Structure 1
Amino acid sequence: LTEPQIRFISKEVLQGLGFLHEKLIIHRDMKAGNILLTLNNEVKLADFGVSARLADEKQKRLTFIGTPYWMAPEVINCETFKDAPYNWKADIWSFGITLIELAQRRPPYNSINPTRVLLKISKSDPPTLSKPHLWSSKFKTFLARTLQKDPNQRPECKDLLLDPFVSDVTES
């Protein structure tokens, strides 16, 4: 996709995810295949089959679930470290991986076996665009914010919607 298309989709997805997160729902399978585009230029989130609802804002999950290439490090680690649960910030990581997927037509590490990619995500620095020179600094900065390894450093949807990459996107 082009950068303007990614900007538009990003804003719409963040509004949808933000709505879910306000209702204490974690999507848990955020990826391009679960973003639908209508003929009216509407963006819809799909496939809530593995989503989960938290009882309150402090509750976290311990279920190892999702699609490996898009899984946040804390989701992967919850299987190994039972004292490392996760919340809706895992969706922000998956959204960041989705941004790379939209830009490059495939997620990072797609040539690696899904089981091995889990170790790579857990142990490596966050992925980046393979051809960063093709993208604006606004996009690269926005992407880096979504892929903070520490979920406590990862912004929420409402914060990302204020980012210059998406804040001035208008409905088309």
Structure 2
Amino acid sequence: MEPFDFVEVKVPAKAEYVGVVRLSISGIANRMGFSYEDIEDLKVAISEAITNAVKHAYKEDDDGEITIGFGVYENRLEIMVADHGGSFDLAQVKEDIGPYKQDDSIEDLREGGFGLFLIDALMDKVEINSKYGVIVLMTKYLHENEVGLDDDQISTTQ
């Protein structure tokens, strides 16, 4: 398996913590060398995913938690947002995850349809696991590292 760092952040399922997570993703993406535009896209996507989790995961329960996981690879950043607050069993998540399809029933995704369209537009890959709560896995590639030997030749290693 390729090496990566995994950073896990847990926040209360409250809108006021979105900014904390935006700062986290901004710091990680900046250290990885993402462009300013990509960092802005990442911040919008993670805000949508968290807002969606806050709105739909804890309608009655005020003390819910959201867990955010960052998989920091050499060529990409994988971001997981889970609305059930537990720690990630990465192997389990990857095993049970499937691609987000625009015809997925919006009810199945806790009415979070619009935010997912936006996330899908901003990220390179979006996958959903709704087995235990909803887990959204978003991937953004560091395009600078995807370039082949000639500067003008983009490799297709995605």
Structure ranking higher in helix proportion? 1
* TM-score normalised according to structure 1 size: 0.31
Which structure's residues are more often strand, by fraction? 2
